[in-house]
Amino acid sequence: MNVLQNIAFSIINLTPPWFFNLLNFSSWFWVQVFTGLSIVFIIRMVYVFLSTKSRFAKTGKTSSAQLANLIKEKNTVYPKFSIIVPARNEADVVEKTIKKLIQLDYPKDRMEIVIITDQKEKLNNPDNKITTQEVIQKVQQELSDQPVKIYHLDVPYNFDGLFKGKLMEYEIKSTKGRALNYAFTEMFDHFNQNTDFFAFFDTDDHPDKRCLIEVARENILHPHKNVFQLPIFQCRNFWQISTFCKIIALGQSFSHEIFLPWVLTWLPFLGGTNLFIQKDVLFQVDGFNYNSITEDLDLGITIYLKTGNWPYYLPLASTEQTPDNVKAYLKQRHRWALGQLEVINHLKAQKKLKTPIGKKSKILYYKLSVYGPTEWVVYFLATILSMVVLLTRLLRTIVVIIGMQQVINFFSISLLIKELFISIFTYAGMPMIVFSLFLLLHYNRYIEYKESDWAICKKFLKFLAETSLIIPFMVVLYPWPFFSAFFKYITGYYRNRELTWVKTPRTRE
């Protein structure tokens, strides 16, 4: 004990004054400022949580029989849904998704499925791997006796990407918006004559079986509701991904369930999947912006500016996968951030117009700037400070423990207890693990289990250990891709660069 005390006192006597300031970092003014901001964000989260829960507390479930009675009462017909699924390099997941879609609870003659692949997948396949096209053809043969029609379109390498576009004499880069616009181009007459609503899903989506019923009901009762955004829970592959991505999966699901309804009260936000748009509305804005990284957000803004239609929320979740490692997460979120910055930049140019669109653009510009770059910077700085506070508190506690006097008295014991309690409450792992366990229990029914109980148990124990011991030191990775994209964007890093679309890797299903 004397040796440790001597070491502690030697460190204290030999270190410069800034060392003591570092030990008291948690009491610095700017730390207290950001602590206050964190409390504001927590209060906002509680408010939004209670508001959303009360808003949908009495939401009932519409059955097939109830929808049939409503259609009879209104003397109308079932809306026809064309389900659109872009599938580029998705051989691992596309089969299961198609089979989930044909099980949707809706009259089979009033729905169809259109799968869109990319010709480049076949052209650029030196290893002769099974392609998405081959899997779709196999599934079409297996389900040929099903009443739901399944169409397959393959986007030519030289399609220009525009709504009602054409083939060029050179290769065009692949984007999700380009693939969707090809479907509208090739099947324009068919959609015009047969489709009432488009339903958009990603290739790893497993939607709620009642989603078409609820969208149809809302549109029949409220004809002005022509755009619907439903939540996405990216947690289905929870036990196949890293611990950091597990935290992200739970947080994203919570965000879509609780925060998305609130966001849709003041922003025309679209998520690109589990998305339903009335045909005439979509054709009125000439489909998607094929050159946008986040074609979904861009579409929501465009629809509102040009048609006045606002997206509505319905609490029927579709499950998806989340990136299985930190690198994939960073790439995906970086791309999302760049897409939002592009939209903000377009609104900045439009807000100068002396027209109704200019006025709307100005309001959306400021809203997206706050619910975007401003929050990204604040969150990033808050996580940096949180990590430094955690490290300095741990260092302070160590110094106090090993530097105590040999004679234990009331003063030293009370000081030790005080330091330990403050460090425990500073430690981010404790509240994080409690909140994560709550979310895991809440979203457990959306998670797939493919392994034995013992294998899941070991992964669960690892999840608990890493959440409490490691993740608190990695929280800065959560806002980093957004902050990084913003910093690079404002410094001109992406000026004159082609911002290409990058597909998120999937977990095999």
CB 177 within 8 A of CB 140: no
The pLDDT of residue 9: 54
Distances (CA, A) of 433 to 243, 250, 287, 459, 501: 12, 12, 43, 15, 35
Strand segments, DSSP code E, in 186-242 are 197-200, 227-229, 232-233
Q: How confident is the prediction for the chain on average, in pLDDT?
A: 86
The pLDDT of residue 407: 44
Give per-residue burial for 255-284: e unless 16+ CB within 10 Å, then b. bbbbbbbbbbeebbbbbbbbbbbbbebbbe
Each residue's pLDDT tens digit, 44-63: 888 999 989 888 877 778 99
The pLDDT of residue 77: 95
Q: DSSP 3-state assignment of 197?
A: strand
Beta bridge partners of 228: 276, 312
pLDDT above 80 (res 404):
no
Domain limits of the chain?
A: 1-58+76-509
Q: What is the spatial distance between Cα 83 and Cα 474, in angstroms, rounded to a whole number? A: 39
Q: What is the spatial distance between Cα 107 and Cα 446, in angstroms, rounded to a whole number? A: 25
Each residue's pLDDT tens digit, 146-193: 999 999 999 999 999 999 999 999 999 999 999 999 999 999 999 999
Which is more confidently placed, 465 or 133? 133
The pLDDT of residue 213: 97
Q: At what angle do helices 375-402 and 480-490 cross, to 10 degrees?
A: 130
Which is more confidently placed, 470 or 253? 253
Length of the chain: 509
Residue 328: closest CA among 506, 176, 131: 506
* Strand order across the beta sheet in which 227-229 lies: 149-155, 111-118, 81-86, 197-200, 275-278, 227-229, 312-313
Residue 182: closest CA among 303, 84, 83: 84
pLDDT above 80 (res 1):
no
Distances (CA, A) of 314 to 167, 217, 230: 38, 11, 5
Which is more confidently placed, 502 or 432? 432
pLDDT above 80 (res 393):
no
Each residue's pLDDT tens digit, 136-149: 999 999 999 999 99
* 1-58+76-509 classified as CATH 3.90.550.10: yes
Which residues have CB under 8 Å from 279's CB, separation 6+?
82, 191, 192, 195, 196, 197, 198
Q: What is the spatial distance between Cα 182 and Cα 116, in angstroms, rounded to a whole number? A: 8
Residue 435: closest CA among 479, 475, 378, 402: 475
- The proportion of the chain whose per-residue pLDDT surpasses 70, expressed as a percent, equals 83
What value does the CA radius of gyration of the chain take, rounded to a whole number of Å?
27
Task: Give the DSSP H or E segment for 479.
Answer: none
Q: What is the spatial distance between Cα 56 and Cα 315, in angstroms, rounded to a whole number? A: 8
